[in-house]
């Protein structure tokens, strides 16, 4: 406890030092636009603030568009730590000689993010796996930073109570819940097992998730089956493993659509890196660190929203958005419908057809999402974050349709079980 207190005090000192340097640079004339300045400062502050930046990027329901757009650039890629440090954590967590568990661990990581590092390995029983290892001290840093942010938010609310009708401290609490869940690999392992059970219960043999090796997994270490495959956006590579890329896409979409009503959560980050077509043609869903949950009454409104989209009924879309959102004002549903009609026509422009366009397409996904939320908020609506997460996944799938099945209508194709 005393050690953690000392580390916490040291972390607050580090934070104040970075903020001080930023202030000095600003006084000396280095004055980028405020969103860019904040993003650069967050990246200098490390793990918590990078995650906070990503939260801002995925939460146009909470933050102004300029900040949401700028924080799309906040990448969760950090320099790899020496494998000697990660090996030490592995030993501490597994409490047994690593040689008795792993025949081989690649010391060069497959990926290194702010919270964890991922290494390829092989078990002594012969299976290829990936090991997600939490970086040392991350949890203490997160708790210290988030407590610091919470106190700062409460002070700011007291000083400027009219700053926003959204509770700043409430946002920090939501961020803390999200981040601490991401630090608990047991929860991610449970998410994987729950989704695997959902696939089994729905007799879905065409999609899968990595198997969790519980004997060598803990709160800070997650050992999973290693998938070999290609991203859902790589049409030529997909053709090498399946003769029908369109059917593969339909499998991916129907699996995700079914999870909205038949699983206790939905995968809330189906970007191209988290959806793979495996060598045997199955669709692999990976990375269940971020999931979303929709309340039944909110889902009914979302379902009505989708039904309205399917038939191009913008008045119905507007009515559903009013029920999804929280408002303190009277809403002109007809005017909202007109604004949505104009936005919906823009979605047809989101057509990435080359590998180099993929990153630009992801920006377009975020831009359309921000525009949709902005339209709602301009009419006095405020949406729960889960709604933004949900719509963002639909926009990802819209992108995949343009790549793999450009003739398909995502909302009208009878092969898609959108609302079942």
Active site residues: 269
What is the chain's length? 420
Q: Is the separation of the CB atoms in 404 and 248 below 8 Å?
A: yes
Q: Is the separation of the CB atoms in 129 and 122 below 8 Å?
A: yes
* Contacting residues for 150 by C-beta, under 8 A, at least 6 apart: 169, 172, 173, 176
Both structure tokens of 322:
């009013």
Q: Within 13 A of 111's CA, how many CA atoms are on the CB side?
A: 14
CA dist., res. 124 & res. 26, Å (int): 55
CA dist., res. 35 & res. 154, Å (int): 22
Instruction: Give the number of other Cβ atoms within 10 Å of residue 51's Cβ.
Output: 24
Three-state secondary structure call for residue 199: helix
Rg (the chain; Cα; Å): 23
How far CA 110 is from CA of 133, 222, 271, in Å, comes to: 12, 14, 18
Closest CA to 70 of 95, 92, 40, 45: 40
Closest CA to 334 of 317, 348, 358: 317
Burial class (CB in 10 A: 0-12, 13-18, 19+), 23: exposed
Residue showing tokens 């995700």: 256
For helices 34-45 and 47-57, the axis angle rounded to 10 degrees is: 140
Residue showing tokens 């999200």: 178
Q: Is the separation of the CB atoms in 106 and 121 below 8 Å?
A: yes
CA dist., res. 221 & res. 116, Å (int): 9
Three-state secondary structure call for residue 113: coil
């Amino acid at each position: 406890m005393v050690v953690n207190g000392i580390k916490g005090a040291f972390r607050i000192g580090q934070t104040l030092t970075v903020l001080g340097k930023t202030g000095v640079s600003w006084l000396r004339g280095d004055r980028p636009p405020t969103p860019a300045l904040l993003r650069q400062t967050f990246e200098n502050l490390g793990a918590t603030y990078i995650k906070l930046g990503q939260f801002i990027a995925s939460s146009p329901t909470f933050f102004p568009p300029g900040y949401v757009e700028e924080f799309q650039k906040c990448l969760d890629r950090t320099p790899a730590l020496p494998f000697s440090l990660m090996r030490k954590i592995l030993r501490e967590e597994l409490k047994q000689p690593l040689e008795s568990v792993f025949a081989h661990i690649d010391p060069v990581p497959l990926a290194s993010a702010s919270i964890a590092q991922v290494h390829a390995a092989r078990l002594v029983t012969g299976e290829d796996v990936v090991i997600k290892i939490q970086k040392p001290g991350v949890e203490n840093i997160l708790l210290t930073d988030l407590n610091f942010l919470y106190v700062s938010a409460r002070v700011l609310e007291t000083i400027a109570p009219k700053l926003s009708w959204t509770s700043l401290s409430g946002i920090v609490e939501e961020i803390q819940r999200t981040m601490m869940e991401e630090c608990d690999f047991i929860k991610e392992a449970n998410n994987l097992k729950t989704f695997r059970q959902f696939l089994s219960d729905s007799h879905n043999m065409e999609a899968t998730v990595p198997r969790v090796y519980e004997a060598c997994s803990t709160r800070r270490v997650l050992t999973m089956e290693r998938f070999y495959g290609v991203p859902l956006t790589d049409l030529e590579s997909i053709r090498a493993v399946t003769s029908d890329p369109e059917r593969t896409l339909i499998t991916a979409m129907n699996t995700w659509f079914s999870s909205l009503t038949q699983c206790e959560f939905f995968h809330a980050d189906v970007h191209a890196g988290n959806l793979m077509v495996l060598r045997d043609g199955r669709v692999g869903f990976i990375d269940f660190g971020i999931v979303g949950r929709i309340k039944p009454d909110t889902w009914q409104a979302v379902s009505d929203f989708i039904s309205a989209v399917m038939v191009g009924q913008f008045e119905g879309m507007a009515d559903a958005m009013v029920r999804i959102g929280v408002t303190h004002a009277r809403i002109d549903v007809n005017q909202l419908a007109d604004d949505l009609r104009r936005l919906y026509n823009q979605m047809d422009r989101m057509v990435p057809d080359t590998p180099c366009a993929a990153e630009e397409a992801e920006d377009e996904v975020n831009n359309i999402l921000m525009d949709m939320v902005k339209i709602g908020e301009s009419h006095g609506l405020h949406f729960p974050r889960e709604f933004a997460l949900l719509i963002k996944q639909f926009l990802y799938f819209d992108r995949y349709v343009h790549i793999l099945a450009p003739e398909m209508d995502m909302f009208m194709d009878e092969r898609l079980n959108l609302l079942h």
